[in-house]
């Protein structure tokens, strides 16, 4: 009788289960990087929004050059608040500061954006928020008063020239 001899060979390099282990390591890293990229997009959106709103508010205040400084500051602050209403993403506006002097209107806006703990592996990154600070300045436009003065001078000159005739 012939006996069948079965030789069991051991396969070296059997990769069963390796994909699961690699996925367990890579998927959380990929998710964290994706969240970080999304959150950085929110950060850039908020910073751009604050810069735009501060600039528009400063220009709005500078266009009312004949008004009192307190009135200009109130108008610019109200315009900045109106532009920022319900438009930021995961951010709180802390301060809207408007300073007006003889030459320019300056609008400063400071906001704080909360960071989800999952992005930075809980306590590796010690801060729990990002602060965004922007400052925009617009030169006060006093052309209205200059044009009025020039117009009055021309009128007086024309009146005096007509009077001499």
Residue range 24-34: average pLDDT?
A: 88
- Nearest one of 134, 58, 135 to 91, comparing CA atoms: 134
Residue 95 has pLDDT above 70, yes or no: yes
The overall average pLDDT reported for the chain is 82
Spatial strand order of the sheet with 129-139 comes to 91-100, 104-114, 129-139
Residue 26 has pLDDT above 70, yes or no: yes
Residue 41 has pLDDT above 80, yes or no: yes
> What is the Cα–Cα distance from 38 to 100, expressed in whole angstroms?
37
On whether the CB atoms of residues 107 and 135 are closer than 8 A, the answer is yes
On whether the CB atoms of residues 49 and 80 are closer than 8 A, the answer is no
Residue 111 has pLDDT above 90, yes or no: yes
pLDDT by residue (tens digit) across 42-57?
Answer: 999 999 999 999 999 9
Three-class DSSP category at 96: strand
Tell me the pLDDT band of 7, cut-offs 50, 70 and 90.
Answer: low
Residue 122 has pLDDT above 60, yes or no: no
pLDDT value, residue 148: 73
**Sequence-ordered strand ranges (E) for 62-125:** 91-100, 104-114
> What is the Cα–Cα distance from 64 to 57, expressed in whole angstroms?
11
pLDDT by residue (tens digit) across 141-165?
Answer: 766 666 777 778 888 888 877 766 6
Provide the CA 40 distance to its chain's centre, in angstroms. 11
> What is the Cα–Cα distance from 115 to 128, expressed in whole angstroms?
5
> What is the Cα–Cα distance from 110 to 129, expressed in whole angstroms?
13
């Amino acid at each position: 009788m012939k006996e069948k001899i079965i030789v069991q060979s051991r396969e070296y390099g059997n990769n069963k289960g390796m994909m699961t282990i690699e996925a367990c390591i890579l998927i959380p890293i990929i998710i964290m990087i994706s969240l970080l990229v999304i959150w950085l997009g929110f950060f850039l959106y908020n910073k751009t929004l604050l810069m735009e709103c501060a600039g528009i508010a400063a220009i709005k205040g500078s266009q009312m050059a004949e008004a009192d400084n307190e009135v200009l500051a109130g108008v610019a602050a109200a315009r900045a608040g109106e532009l920022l209403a319900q438009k930021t993403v995961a951010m709180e506006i802390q301060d809207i500061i408007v300073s007006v002097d003889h030459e320019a209107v300056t609008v400063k806006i400071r906001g704080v954006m909360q960071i989800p703990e999952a992005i930075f592996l809980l306590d590796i990154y010690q801060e729990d928020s990002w602060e965004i600070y922007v400052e925009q300045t617009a030169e006060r436009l006093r052309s209205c008063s200059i044009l009025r003065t020039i117009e009055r001078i021309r009128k007086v000159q024309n009146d005096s020239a007509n009077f001499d005739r």
